[in-house]
Amino acid sequence: MKITKICCIGAGYVGGPTMAVIAQKCPHIQVTVVDLNEQRIKDWNDPNTDNIPIYEPGLSEIVAEARNRNLFFSTEVEKAIDEAQVIFISVNTPTKTYGKGKGMAADLKYIELCARQIAKVAKQNKIVVEKSTLPVRTAEAIKSILDNTGNGVQFQILSNPEFLAEGTAVTDLLNPDRILIGGDTTPEGQNAINALVDVYANWVDKDKILTTNVWSSELSKLTANAFLAQRISSINAMSELCEKTGADVTEVARAIGMDSRIGSKFLKASVGFGGSCFQKDILNLVYIAKSYGLNEVADYWEQVIIMNDHQKRRFSNKIVQTLYNTVADKKITFLGWAFKKDTNDTRESAAIYIADDLINEQAKISVYDPKVSRNKMLSDLDYLQTRSNEENSNSLAIFDNAYEACKGSHAIAVLTEWDEFTTYDWKKIYDSMHKPAFLFDGRNILNAKEVEAIGFIYKGIGS
């Protein structure tokens, strides 16, 4: 089958960038991204591509090149499903907040809704591609829905998990480590796999395109994120030991990172990992293990989450203890709210939980982040349901300038590793603050000796 029309359901952090790159690299394929969120689609269609809803370096240029040529954003979901040969499902799969599996299992209600809508609309054979991160054997459920509620058409279900890191998503899409495609071992399944392989082969070396059965593909995504998160929690666990013993976690990480068996990536101690994938995927893995009675396996992976939560609490506790065991009515400035640099995504950001802890201690929080809006920050706090929207609004002040955000502060907490933070005139910031002035570097991006020479009382992670 030669693919000429693709539809993607879901215009979020995965669907939008992935489809933009496919459209750029495959001008012969019409790519339509659909979403029921009218405002999101309106933002994707904004004539000024700098205003698109997702910030990723290089993304706006790709969208500008392909949009209205062969890349389209629309709310006409059924029309796009009907016309497409390949349908990517890229909707949210949050952790369940209710019922069986609450707090661990993935909530698949949006996936099921997509499957039922595809079954209802499709009049011709379709390839349906799982792009969202899903638990093992979800494809089986999707196929059951499609085969038993459809119009007699034939569906092939493929698993094509994303391996994007937010902030480098465009680079990851243009030059991926690998593309993974899982499908049935039947002749029809292999034909579907080959059709999708041919799409990616327009810019990816075929040696980097791996094909597996669908179950292996689904589990590989969860496993990859679990291993990466495990490394972060491991170095963060060592950071606490370093602080107690007088070792420097940065030096320890550098020493072990030079071991070719270990490598240096994901060994940077920090206030903790965030984002939409790591915690959700590990909890999903824990739930799957428990459902099969593998309690020791579940306990092992759950400890990665426990360590990450501990690191966030430890950081907020350190702020309170260092500021003489009280932050009531003190101004604490957060530099950064996004969970990492070069993205406007705040899901599971450490800043949210640390702000929540400090507001509980009656601190006044000021925030500067170059890409995150005030409404998003307040929404993040409101989602925790710790206090009313009015209380959150009164406790949180958002600035569009770091120098103004820091003025009159008792302490600064660096919570996102934005490059611009390393270029500031820290002497000017110090002079504008209450004394003694404290600097809590939750990302270890500043030079401790330099800021201490200015007069700051510096507190990094694991040193």
3-class DSSP state of 217:
helix
Cα maximum dimension of the chain = 74
Name which of 461, 199, 449 is nearest 354 in CA terms.
Answer: 461
3-class DSSP state of 308:
helix
Residue 374: which residues within 8 A CB-CB, separation 6 or more?
398
Q: Which of 26, 114, 277, 406 is catalytic?
A: 277
Average pLDDT, the chain: 94
Q: Is the pLDDT of residue 233 over 90?
A: yes
Average pLDDT for 105-111: 79
One-letter amino acid identity for 315? F
222 or 452, greater pLDDT:
452
Q: Which of 56, 162, 166, 302 is catalytic?
A: 162
Average pLDDT for 76-86: 97
Q: Is the pLDDT of residue 354 over 90?
A: yes
Indicate the pTM of the whole model: 0.90
Q: Is the pLDDT of residue 381 over 90?
A: yes
Which of 75-84, 110-119, 388-397 bottoms out in mean pLDDT, i.e. has the lowest? 110-119
Q: What percentage of the chain exceeds 90 in pLDDT? A: 84
Which of 98-102, 191-195, 259-263, 338-342 bottoms out in mean pLDDT, i.e. has the lowest? 98-102
pLDDT tens sequence across 116-175: 999 999 999 999 999 876 655 677 778 888 888 777 889 999 999 989 899 999 999 999
Tell me the H-state helices in 323-362.
Answer: 350-360
Strand order in the sheet with 30-34: 71-74, 30-34, 5-9, 86-89, 126-130, 155-159, 179-183, 209-213
Average pLDDT for 392-409: 97
Question: Which residues lie across from 439 on neighbouring strands?
Answer: 412, 458
Q: Which of 126, 221, 312, 331 is catalytic?
A: 221
Which pLDDT band holds residue 402 (cuts at 50, 70, 90)?
very high
Average pLDDT for 320-349: 97
Which of 42-56, 85-99, 302-316 bottoms out in mean pLDDT, i.e. has the lowest? 85-99
| Pair 345, 275: CB distance under 8 Å | yes
Average pLDDT for 319-330: 97
HEC string for 248-295: CHHHHHHHHHCCCCCCCCCCCCCCCCCCCCHHHHHHHHHHHHHHCCCH
Q: Identify whether 277 is a catalytic site residue.
A: yes
| Pair 134, 218: CB distance under 8 Å | yes
Average pLDDT for 232-254: 96
Check residue 137 and give its pLDDT: 65
Average pLDDT for 18-32: 98
pLDDT tens sequence across 283-312: 989 998 999 999 999 999 999 999 999 999
Check residue 152 and give its pLDDT: 81
Check residue 136 and give its pLDDT: 59
- d(C-alpha 307, C-alpha 239), whole Å: 11
Tell me the H-state helices in 373-423.
Answer: 374-384, 389-395, 402-406
Q: Is 374 buried (19+), middle (13-18) or exposed (0-12) by CB count in 10 A?
A: middle
pLDDT tens sequence across 417-460: 999 999 999 999 999 999 999 999 999 999 999 999 999 999 99
Q: Identify whether 162 is a catalytic site residue.
A: yes
And the tokens for 126?
Answer: 């379709």
Check residue 214 and give its pLDDT: 86
Which of 135-149, 245-259, 280-294, 365-379 bottoms out in mean pLDDT, i.e. has the lowest? 135-149
Average pLDDT for 229-248: 96
Average pLDDT for 238-254: 95
pLDDT tens sequence across 171-203: 999 999 999 999 999 999 999 999 999 999 999
Q: Is the pLDDT of residue 216 over 70?
A: yes
Q: Identify whether 221 is a catalytic site residue.
A: yes
C-alpha neighbours within 13 Å on the C-beta side of residue 450: 9
Name which of 384, 436, 388 is nearest 409 in CA terms.
Answer: 436
